[in-house]
Structure 1
Amino acid sequence: MDNQPQKLTTASGRPYAENENSQSAGARGPLLLQDYILHEKMAHFNRERIPERVVHAKGSGAYGTFTVTNDITQYTRARLFNQVGKETRVFMRFSTVGGEKGSADTERDPRGFAVKFYTEEGNWDLVGNNTPVFFVKDPKKFGDFIHTQKRDPYTNLKSPTMMWDYWSLNPESLHQVLILMSDRGTPVGYRFMNGYGSHTFSLINAKGERFWVKFHFKSMQGIRNFSGPEADAMKARDLDFAQRDLLEAIDNGHYPKWALKVQIMPEADAKTYKWNPFDLTKVWPHKDYPLIDVGVLELNQNPDNYFAEVEQSAFAPAHVVDGIGYSPDKMLQGRLLSYPDAHRYRLGGNYEQIPVNRCPYAVHNYQRDGQMRVDGNGGRTPNYFPNSFDTIVADASYKEPAQTLDSLVADWYDRNAPGDNDHYTQPGILFREVMTPEQQMATVQNIVTAMRGISGPKKEQIVFRQLCHFFRADMSLGMAIARGLNVNVDQFMPTAQSAHA
């Protein structure tokens, strides 16, 4: 029976015969309005494209499994971690950040790293990047920053001037800029890079104790990066290198894996730690909070249809499960609203009914109606709560422990006020102590190449301002970049020396 031919039909199920020839008045005459199949095909074709993501527009995805290898139940009651050996199905999407859907996979850009865990207590979306920090620390800045990574409103071209102008005016970006300008900014596809939840989240255990946590995915394939020239050469050879690499690796049985590890900070430590642990531009040094093994994530199944499963996939850091929670991280707080809102705009109010986004376990709520409601819409059941007819209850056992806010005053606080304005120590440590001499040289060359693109009447001002940031982070870094740009370094010495005094 499986080999029997199937009838060609419309979406409503009507069989039809003419799929290539439009009905016309005579062989050479005009077409007839009554050819419904012609209109059906063209109208659907006109609507095949949904709005692309404002960021992370170009991406790749795959299914897999997460397996628990170590017991962390002392920190969290989340059921996906409750037993060593337990497996949870996942869907994962990688992406570039700033480019459009047709852009090159090897652009110098952060990479999105988003994982959807299909747990028995709901879907958990861990939505991060391949970097542990970000360019800004307040969500009010996010749209402005992204505009600088897109196209100039006059030229419709990418603009190094816009990028470096913004970065030089926001020194909190320096840590992420230094990572981006190293060869980590051009990873070899998606299999050979780490992933990070980036934000600080919380874990809650069975006793109701809260811990602050950062999530790390360490590539078990090792780390591989293109040099700047190698990335440019790959753009000329294969715009879709990362998509092709991931797809073919999984098709050929070379399943990529990442080891999930966590950093755990006791809740009370946040008040006294030397850096704000909820600042997205900062890391927690491993010597203070070592990595703890959790499990292994393996990707082992390619989607059957890219649009249905990758393009329509939707991730939101608001989607957590019992035992995993939020934190006062300002950027995380902003994303809790903006991500689901973006999905409703792009995919519709019922985007969580799309199969790739749907929780495979029981879902009970009172959301009804809206475009593309395809699950029966609750049938005859009540659409309000509380009611006298169904058996849905709010389970108090899932309540999170209270969080003390110390009678704080609601106001608009400067995110870079004294105490939160050290933008230079961690980038300096990254350059001096983490990077090898070879990585230092590559990073300097990448920065010099990128900054040579700055143009216009404000060029000198932008270059000088950004150089001051590099000098404050590390004297040798600033000197090397200044030499590469043929800038006289003498004028920077008083500023740089006072910064290190």
Structure 2
Amino acid sequence: MTTNKKKLTTSWGAPVGDNQNSMTAGQRGPTLIQDVYLLEKLAHFNRERIPERVVHAKGAGAHGYFEVTNDVTKYTKAKFLSEIGKRTPVFIRFSTVAGEAGSADTVRDPRGFAVKFYTEDGNYDLVGNNTPIFFIRDAIKFPDFIHSQKRDPKTHLKNPTAVWDFWSLSPESLHQVTILMSDRGIPATFRHMHGFGSHTFKWVNAEGKGVWVKYHFKTEQGIKNLAPDIAAKIAGENPDYHTEDLFNAIEKGDYPAWKLFVQIMPLEDANTYRWDPFDVTKVWSQKDYPLIEVGRMVLNRNPENYFAEVEQAAFSPGQMVPGIEPSPDKMLQGRLFAYSDAARYRVGPNHNLLPINSPKVEANNYQRDGAMRFDKNGGGSVYYEPNSFDGPTESKENKTTSYSVSGIADSVSYNHDDHYTQAGDLYRLISAEEQARLVENIVNSMKSVEKEEIKLRQIAHFYKADPEYGIRVAKGLGLPVQKKV
């Protein structure tokens, strides 16, 4: 066994003590800005591609509106949700995750589901996926995860060995891997899939009372998926299949729509619920926290110019409005920084001045200069704060609500490390036919993995989720079952 492994270091050569957990103030965060290694990883990662997005490079978008259909004011003071019948303009961008800008639409991959609400309190971005969970639960692992999904630096080919090596060494990914390898891993179109905020967020009402919330967009078109052979055929014949389908549907007046539901959890339940509610690799049972209808989103207008609107669109989960706040979700905490930072690099520091990103209300701040500043740059007005010249000032009523934190500043994981129960529940929930397709998809994907130890390690995860799950994958690969990880 090799013992003289090279030490992982920062770019300035200092050894890294923990590459799995970001530093938080106590068990539940928030993440500390003093974790400079986390910031370095995320900032460097955002600058690894020029000029397309590092992830979600291939996508399509459309304009529409969101209409409130149910009174949720007892949960949130967000103005765009303040009354039934209220409509807010939206722009949504759908995307694949791992492929380049010229990649095929019909590959097995999660789909991005990013919604920009142009509200009267500024823009609110809900940046999610077509799955309610994710592969990892700490942002410090995100650059490594995406590297494993991207092209090998030597061969410039996709590398199944890297993909499954990372997953097998990150058992928290098992739930999402099961979804990805199921029928839902290849949606038939962008219109025929659900969307999710994925993370836990905080809603606050006019009295300052908060609740934890999860978002679910349910497609009115119904769920439809593609078989792998059909998806591969389409990828060769029409790699822009999903992009074309969305454009044509809207152009002919067949406007796609989704109903938005939320799950609401009282703040105090976070301390006693059987799953950590801030762990994005887990779902909340809808029996425990039923879906509550909020509204309906309709897409009814195509972009006039793809580059100006879809390509230059910038989304960040950190762009919130009063009544909506973050949670201690470690993955979300990292994204609050990373997404805006990516936009500053990819589009520029003044990306929010572009028409597709600019709010429908006047923005008043003291930000000046920067590349591509194309408005009046504040003119001759006061350019600092506080000041004695009637410049814009803070509104204390919109201050983010407080919550208590405790513990020591350290790199810590979540309390709960059961990565198998929910994945096993999902396996048992789907039909026998879909189980067979799930196993076949996994086997086909893992066949070309170079190291047997990686296959055996992953089989053990499947087995711990459900013995039959592991046995069937092992049999398909011609390998014995490894019951321990």
TM-score by length of 2: 0.89
| Partner deviation per Cα, 1:169-202 (whole Å, 9 max, x = no partner) | 1101000000000011100120000000000000
- Whether 2:478 is the aligned partner of 1:482: answer no
Provide the residue aligned with 2:435 in structure 1: 440
Q: What displacement does 1:217 show? A: 0.4
| Partner deviation per Cα, 1:451-484 (whole Å, 9 max, x = no partner) | 11212xxx21011000000000001111111111
**Contact 1:190–1:246 (CA<8 Å) still a contact in 2?**
yes
- Whether 2:244 is the aligned partner of 1:244: answer yes
Find 1:431's aligned residue among 414, 427, 444. 427
Q: What displacement does 1:396 show? A: 1.3
Provide the residue aligned with 1:449 in structure 2: 444
Provide the residue aligned with 1:35 in structure 2: none
Q: What displacement does 1:393 show? A: 2.0
User: Structure 1: which 4+ aligned runs deviate by more than 6 Å?
Assistant: none
Distance in 2 between residues matched to 1:116 and 1:179, nearest whole Å: 26
Query: SS of the counterpart of 1:369?
Result: coil
Distance in 1 between residues matched to 2:413 and 2:220, nearest whole Å: 40
**Contact 2:68–2:84 (CA<8 Å) still a contact in 1?**
yes
Distance in 2 between residues matched to 1:97 and 1:240, nearest whole Å: 15
Provide the residue aligned with 1:139 in structure 2: 139
Matches within 5 A, 1:152-163: 152-163=152-163
Provide the residue aligned with 1:22 in structure 2: none
Distance in 1 between residues matched to 2:50 and 2:124, nearest whole Å: 25
Alignment RMSD: 1.2
| Partner deviation per Cα, 1:1-23 (whole Å, 9 max, x = no partner) | xxxxxxxxxxxxxxxxxxxxxxx
Query: SS of the counterpart of 1:411?
Result: strand
Distance in 2 between residues matched to 1:160 and 1:50, nearest whole Å: 25
Q: 1:145 to 1:351 in 2, by over 3 A?
A: same
Provide the residue aligned with 1:408 in structure 2: 407
**Contact 1:201–1:327 (CA<8 Å) still a contact in 2?**
yes
| Partner deviation per Cα, 1:255-294 (whole Å, 9 max, x = no partner) | 0000000000000000111111000100001011100000
Q: Which runs of 5+ in 1 are unaligned?
A: 1-48
Q: What displacement does 1:485 show? A: 1.1
Distance in 1 between residues matched to 2:150 and 2:231, nearest whole Å: 19
Distance in 2 between residues matched to 1:402 and 1:160, nearest whole Å: 44
Q: What displacement does 1:64 show? A: 0.1
Matches within 5 A, 1:296-311: 296-311=296-311
Distance in 2 between residues matched to 1:278 and 1:430, nearest whole Å: 20
Query: SS of the counterpart of 2:114?
Result: strand
Q: Which runs of 5+ in 2 are unaligned?
A: 1-48
Query: SS of the counterpart of 2:410?
Result: coil
Matches within 5 A, 1:229-378: 229-378=229-378
TM-score by length of 1: 0.86
**Contact 1:50–1:347 (CA<8 Å) still a contact in 2?**
no
Provide the residue aligned with 1:170 in structure 2: 170
Amino acid of the structure 1 residue aligned with 2:440? Q
Provide the residue aligned with 1:470 in structure 2: 462
Distance in 2 between residues matched to 1:247 and 1:189, nearest whole Å: 11
Distance in 2 between residues matched to 1:289 and 1:383, nearest whole Å: 47
| Partner deviation per Cα, 1:333-370 (whole Å, 9 max, x = no partner) | 00011100000100111000010000110111000001
**Contact 2:382–2:391 (CA<8 Å) still a contact in 1?**
no
Q: What displacement does 1:391 show? A: 4.1
Amino acid of the structure 2 residue aligned with 1:301? R
Query: SS of the counterpart of 1:177?
Result: helix
Matches within 5 A, 1:371-410: 371-405=371-405, 407-410=406-409
Provide the residue aligned with 1:21 in structure 2: none
Q: 1:360 to 1:325 in 2, by over 3 A?
A: same
Distance in 2 between residues matched to 1:281 and 1:467, nearest whole Å: 19
Q: What displacement does 1:488 show? A: 3.2
- Whether 2:417 is the aligned partner of 1:421: answer yes
Q: What displacement does 1:53 show? A: 0.1
For the pair shown, the structure with the greater C-alpha radius of gyration is: 1
**Contact 2:67–2:88 (CA<8 Å) still a contact in 1?**
yes
**Contact 2:385–2:391 (CA<8 Å) still a contact in 1?**
no
Q: What displacement does 1:50 show? A: 6.5
Matches within 5 A, 1:44-63: 51-63=51-63
Distance in 1 between residues matched to 2:88 and 2:99, nearest whole Å: 32
The aligned length equals 437
Distance in 1 between residues matched to 2:223 and 2:256, nearest whole Å: 12
Q: What displacement does 1:410 show? A: 1.2
Distance in 2 between residues matched to 1:271 and 1:277, nearest whole Å: 9
Query: SS of the counterpart of 1:464?
Result: helix
Amino acid of the structure 2 residue aligned with 1:478? G
Amino acid of the structure 2 residue aligned with 1:470? F
| Partner deviation per Cα, 1:34-59 (whole Å, 9 max, x = no partner) | xxxxxxxxxxxxxxx96000000000
Distance in 1 between residues matched to 2:162 and 2:330, nearest whole Å: 25
Identity across aligned pairs (percent)?
57
**Contact 1:138–1:331 (CA<8 Å) still a contact in 2?**
yes
